[in-house]
Structure 1
């Protein structure tokens, strides 16, 4: 795990811990690493888990799918991001999401259940991890709240403008890259790709934005 210490060090879950403490507490949460190839499932809807995942390299998509293959992208996890923590923190809960490797990736699996019981050594690191887990869960709520804000808009145009405005604020710039390609963006906003492309063309003709692949520039 030492080769990934730079990733772990910047993770909010290990905030306030030294490198030595991080390596020490990995045993507390029974940390194991797995490798997944592009397109393979890490978690599947319908399963239950006691573990959450931390992306060490590559990226993954948190999705919802129906029986007919329609996909709704909830979020994208890049290096250093977590997934599955709400389900792992509630014993017996069934996943209503799937997690798929967007690119070849290595994942650190952490047993959350071991955090929710008294540590036999009563270590201070354990208490820090519990506090950090609460912060991680709160941040996930904020992320999904943003998504709800975007997809609750009535039209494809309004959904696009809501999302792009939010990304502009997040980057503190009118010029920014988004983490999705066009199909992924359509899945994230719960719209048809063709309809979204039409709206993007209209917005460009109206002088509201410029776009090239996943780069956008908003014009005011």
Structure 2
């Protein structure tokens, strides 16, 4: 796990925790490292989660699929980002999402009971990680609320404009990279890929934006 200390310390979950404290906490929290090939399921809908996952390398997609295989992407997590935290914090709840490896992935799993149970000495770094977890859960809740706003728009163009506006406001600039491929963006917004690509072309033709692959420039 020492090879990934810089990634672990860069995560919001371990923000403000020193390297020495991280090393001590990984043992206390029963940290377990696992490797997954591309397209493997780290967690499946219907599973229960007792641990919080943290991506050490690669990236994962949090998805919902119906019985016909139609996919809705809820979020994406890369190095230093967590997944399944809300489910792990709700004992006995079953996942209504799956977590799949977008690329080959190395992930760390932390026992949530160990996180939420403060050790007898009530060490400051343990209290800090609990505060960090609350902050991360709140942030994910806000991002999910944003996604609902995007999907609530009536047209593909309106959904795209809502998404790009939110990204520009979040990043504080009009030029940025998005974390999704075209198909993933279509799945995230709940639209057909062909319609999304057509609308992006129209928006570029009208001078609203420019793009190359996942790099976008908004023209306002």
TM-score range, shorter chain: over 0.9
Q: Which residue number corresponds to residue 141 of structure 1?
A: 141
Deviation per CA, 1:67-110: give whole Å up to 9, x if none. 00100001110111000000001100110010000000100101
Contact 1:13 1:136 (8 Å CA) reproduced? yes
Matches within 5 A, 1:95-174: 95-174=95-174
Q: Which residue number corresponds to residue 196 of structure 1?
A: 196
| Structure 1 counterpart SS, 2:168 | helix
Deviation per CA, 1:142-170: give whole Å up to 9, x if none. 11111111111111110001111112222
Deviation per CA, 1:47-80: give whole Å up to 9, x if none. 1011111000011001111100100001110111
- Is 1:37 the equivalent of 2:48? no
Q: Which residue number corresponds to residue 92 of structure 1?
A: 92
Deviation per CA, 1:100-157: give whole Å up to 9, x if none. 0000010010111222334245433322221111111111111111111111111111
Q: Post-superposition shift, 1:9? A: 1.2
CA distance in 2, matches of 1:180, 1:6: 25
Q: Paired residues, what number? A: 220
Contact 1:28 1:126 (8 Å CA) reproduced? no
CA distance in 1, matches of 2:149, 2:164: 12
Contact 1:86 1:137 (8 Å CA) reproduced? yes
Q: Which residue number corresponds to residue 4 of structure 1?
A: 4
TM-score, length-scaled by structure 1: 0.96
CA distance in 2, matches of 1:160, 1:71: 18
Q: Which residue number corresponds to residue 183 of structure 2?
A: 183
Q: Post-superposition shift, 1:193? A: 0.7
Deviation per CA, 1:148-203: give whole Å up to 9, x if none. 11111111110001111112222322221111110000000001111111211211
Unaligned 5+ runs, structure 1? none
Q: Structure 1 residue runs of 4+, over 4 Å off?
A: none
CA distance in 2, matches of 1:116, 1:175: 39
Contact 2:51 2:110 (8 Å CA) reproduced? yes
Q: CA RMSD in A?
A: 1.2
- Is 1:79 the equivalent of 2:79? yes
| Structure 1 counterpart SS, 2:67 | coil
